Structure 1
Amino acid sequence: MALSPGDVDRFEASRPRLEALAYRLLGSAAEAEDAVQETFLRWQAADVARIEVPEAWLTKVLTNLCLNQLASARARRETYVGQWLPEPLLGGDPMLGPADTAEQRESVSYALLTLMERLSPAERAVYVLREAFGYPHREIAEILDVTEAASQQLLHRARKNLTTGRARTEVDEAAARRLVEEFLTAAASGKTEPLVRLLTSDATAVGDGGGKVPARAKAFEGALAVATFLRGLLLPGEAKRRYLGGKPGVYAWTANGEPALVAVLDGRVVGVMCLEVTADGVVAVRSQVNPDKLVRATELWASADRREPLLYAF
C-alpha cells in the first residue's frame, strides 16, 4: 500500500526512538537498523488510516521483531567464535538515544548491554521499555501481550539478574578523557604497577574478535593479569604492525557513555576499548575488535571533532 508523504514523515519522526530502542534490545547497531527497516515495511503494508496510536503500533511491531531476533541470536551466539560483546556506539551517535536520566544512561552503557545477555528476551524487553523509555506496565503488557502482573514480575527478575553489587560511577566527557589519558599512560609505561593501581583487585579484561581478529576467548582475571595483558598489548612489535598494516592512533573518547580508548588506522576504527568505572577503580576492560562491529563507529569517526591521538600504538 502506498504511503502518503504525511505517513512517511510520521514514521521518520519515530525512527530515532525506534533505532535507540532496537539497539538496546539487540546490542547491535546493524541489526537495529534492519529491525527498524522491517518495521517500516510493516507500516507500509498496513492500513495506517485505521491505526489510532501510531507510536504504540510501531513500538509493538518493532519490539516483537526484536524478540524474534533475540531468540534466533541466542542460537547463533552459541557457535560464535570467542567472546561475544555488543557493538559499541561512540559518543555523539544518535542511536544512543535518550540520556536525560541516570536510568536511561545506564540502559545503554556497554557494561549493562553485556550483562543483558543474561536475560531472557522478554525480561530484556520489559527492562528496556520501562527503564530507558519509561513505559508504564499497562502499555508494556499490551506491547508484549502479557498481563501487567507478568510485566512487573519480568522487570523484577531482570533487575535481580543485572545486579552486580557495584555502583557504576558516571563521568562526564572531560573526566572520561582524563581517566583514559591516565589509563593509557600507565599501560604504555612498560610497568604493571601504575596500571594495577587504577584497577580493582578483581578486574577483568575480555575482547571480541569474532574469529576475524585475534582476541583471547577467556577473560583475564585479577588486576595483575589484566595489567600484564594491557602492557603487552601496547608494547612495540613488528608482527603487530605488519598484521594491522601500520600503527593505529589511540584517542581518548567515550563509547556508550563510558570512558573508552579508540584505535584508528587510516581513518578506520580498528578497536574500541571500553572501561567500566566504579568508585574503587576500573573493574572491567572490554575490547571490541571485530571489524563487522566497528563499521558504524568508523562512519561516525569520519565526521567527529577530534584532537591528535594520545599515542600511536605498537
Structure 2
Amino acid sequence: MGIDASEGDTADRAAGFEAHRGRLRAIAYRMLGSVADADDAVQETWLRFAGSDTGAVRNPAGWLTTVLSRICLDMLRARASRREEPWEIHLPDPVVSAVDRDDPEHQAVLADSVALALLVVLDTLSPSERLAFVLHDLFGVPFAQIGPMLDRSPAAAKQLASRARNRVRANPPVSNVDPGRQRAMAEAFLAAARDGDLARLMAVLDGDVVLRADTGDGPWGPSEVVRGAEAVAGRVTRFSGLARLARPVVVNGAPGYLTVAQGRPFSLLTVVVRDDRIVEIDVLADPDRLDLLLDGRVEE
C-alpha cells in the first residue's frame, strides 16, 4: 500500500524536526532547568511545527529556536508568577550517570551536560535575562534574532545578556581544577563526612562555602541554604550515617554521590571545587523527585 501525500509530508516534517531535537532539548533544559519541562517545551514546539505552514521557512533551525524560546519564556514567566518560596533552595533537575560508563550514549550525555551550579545561577535571573544569556552566550544566537523574541531591540537584548553574564561571573559555576582533582576532593569530603570528622571537613571546605539542600518533603528536614565552612561542616556531620550509603556518580559532568536506601534513591549530592577547596555543595534530597528523575534505575 502506498503512502498518500499527507502521510509523506508528515513523515518528512517529523524527520526534519528530529534533526533539530537534540539542540532544542539542550536549549530548553538550560532555559528551564527541568528535564520534564524541557521535554514538554520540545513537544509543544513539534506540535506547532507540525500544524504550521512552514513551506516558506528558509531557516527551519531559526524558526524552531524562536518558537521553542517563546514557549520557554512563557513557562518561566508563569513559574515566576506563582513562586511562593525562595528559588535559591530549589535545585534544577540534575542529569545523573554512572562513573565507569564509557559507551557512546554516556559520552553524549557528558558532552551535553551543563554544570548544575550554572543552572542554579541561571535560576536567579529574570526570564528575559535568562533567555538572552542562554541563547547568545551558550548557543551563539545573534541578538538580532533574540530581540524580537522579547519584543525588544537587539541592543536591549544585548544589555539583558550583559547583566546576566555579570551575575554568572560573580558566582563562577564551574570548577577550575581537572576532573581527577575534583573527584579526589569530593572523595576526601565524603570520607570526612562518613567519619563525622569536623576538622577534616574544615580542611577541604572553602571559608565561604555554600550548601543548598532541596528536600521537598524528604527526610532531611526543611530545605535550606547554609553558608560558611563551620556551619556547613557542622550540618554535614549530622548525616554521617547517610554518607556511608553514598556511591559515586557523575552529576551534570561533575563528581557527585547518590544515596540509595531500601532500593529507593534517598539523596543526590554534588560539589564544585575551586582552588583546591569545595566552594559549593548541592543536595537534592527529595525521594519522590529523585524517583521521577532516575526512573527507578537504581540498585542496592
Structures share fold, TM-score greater than 0.5:
yes
Q: Does structure 1 residue 153 correspond to structure 2 residue 149?
A: no
* AA of the residue aligned to 2:265: V
C-alpha distance in 1, partners of 2:194/2:153? 54
Q: Does structure 1 residue 274 correspond to structure 2 residue 270?
A: yes
After superposing the two structures, state which structure 1 stretch, 110-119 or 84-93, moved more. Answer: 84-93
Cα 1:112/1:300, change in 2 over 3 Å: farther
Q: Which residue of 2 is the match for residue 164 of structure 1?
A: 170
Are the aligned partners of 2:117 and 2:174 in contact in 1 as well (CA < 8 Å)?
no
C-alpha distance in 1, partners of 2:68/2:292? 21
Are the aligned partners of 1:88 and 1:293 in contact in 2 as well (CA < 8 Å)?
no
How far is 1:299 from its partner? 3.6
SS of 1:156's equivalent in the other structure is helix
For structure 2, which runs of at least 5 residues remain unmatched after alignment? 1-5, 98-105
4+ residue segments displaced more than 6 Å: none
Are the aligned partners of 1:200 and 1:223 in contact in 2 as well (CA < 8 Å)?
yes
* AA of the residue aligned to 2:79: A
Are the aligned partners of 1:273 and 1:288 in contact in 2 as well (CA < 8 Å)?
yes
C-alpha distance in 2, partners of 1:165/1:249? 31
Q: Which residue of 2 is the match for residue 102 of structure 1?
A: none
How far is 1:264 from its partner? 2.5
How far is 1:80 from its partner? 7.5
Higher relative contact order (CA 8 A, sep 6+): 1
C-alpha distance in 2, partners of 1:38/1:146? 24
Cα 1:96/1:294, change in 2 over 3 Å: farther
The structure 2 residue matched to 1:21, chosen from 23, 27, 33, is 27
Q: Which residue of 2 is the match for residue 4 of structure 1?
A: 10
How far is 1:79 from its partner? 4.6
TM-score by length of 2: 0.84
How far is 1:203 from its partner? 1.2
For structure 1, which runs of at least 5 residues remain unmatched after alignment? 100-107, 237-246, 310-314
Q: Which residue of 1 is the match for residue 279 of structure 2?
A: 283
* AA of the residue aligned to 1:44: A
Cα 1:277/1:200, change in 2 over 3 Å: same
Q: Which residue of 1 is the match for residue 76 of structure 2?
A: 70
How far is 1:165 from its partner? 5.9
Q: Does structure 1 residue 232 correspond to structure 2 residue 238?
A: yes
Q: Which residue of 1 is the match for residue 142 of structure 2?
A: 136
What does the per-residue CA deviation read over 1:177-211, in whole Å, with 9 as the maximum and x for residues that have no partner?
33322211111122101111000111121211223
Q: Which residue of 1 is the match for residue 89 of structure 2?
A: 83
How far is 1:293 from its partner? 3.5
Cα 1:81/1:177, change in 2 over 3 Å: closer
Q: Which residue of 2 is the match for residue 264 of structure 1?
A: 260
Are the aligned partners of 2:248 and 2:256 in contact in 1 as well (CA < 8 Å)?
yes
Cα 1:295/1:138, change in 2 over 3 Å: farther
RMSD between aligned alpha carbons?
2.9
Q: Which residue of 1 is the match for residue 228 of structure 2?
A: 222
Q: Which residue of 2 is the match for residue 183 of structure 1?
A: 189
C-alpha distance in 1, partners of 2:147/2:87? 36
C-alpha distance in 2, partners of 1:152/1:251? 43
How far is 1:229 from its partner? 1.4
Q: Does structure 1 residue 48 correspond to structure 2 residue 51?
A: no
TM-score by length of 1: 0.81
Q: Which residue of 1 is the match for residue 251 of structure 2?
A: 255
SS of 1:286's equivalent in the other structure is strand
Cα 1:164/1:131, change in 2 over 3 Å: same
Identity of aligned residues (%): 33
Q: Does structure 1 residue 57 correspond to structure 2 residue 53?
A: no
SS of 1:69's equivalent in the other structure is helix
SS of 1:4's equivalent in the other structure is helix
What does the per-residue CA deviation read over 1:148-202, in whole Å, with 9 as the maximum and x for residues that have no partner?
2112111111112223265842455544433322211111122101111000111
Q: Which residue of 1 is the match for residue 101 of structure 2?
A: none
How far is 1:47 from its partner? 1.3
What does the per-residue CA deviation read over 1:237-296, in whole Å, with 9 as the maximum and x for residues that have no partner?
xxxxxxxxxx98412222122221112345543321121211151111110122353246
Are the aligned partners of 1:123 and 1:155 in contact in 2 as well (CA < 8 Å)?
yes
How far is 1:128 from its partner? 0.6
Are the aligned partners of 2:185 and 2:278 in contact in 1 as well (CA < 8 Å)?
no
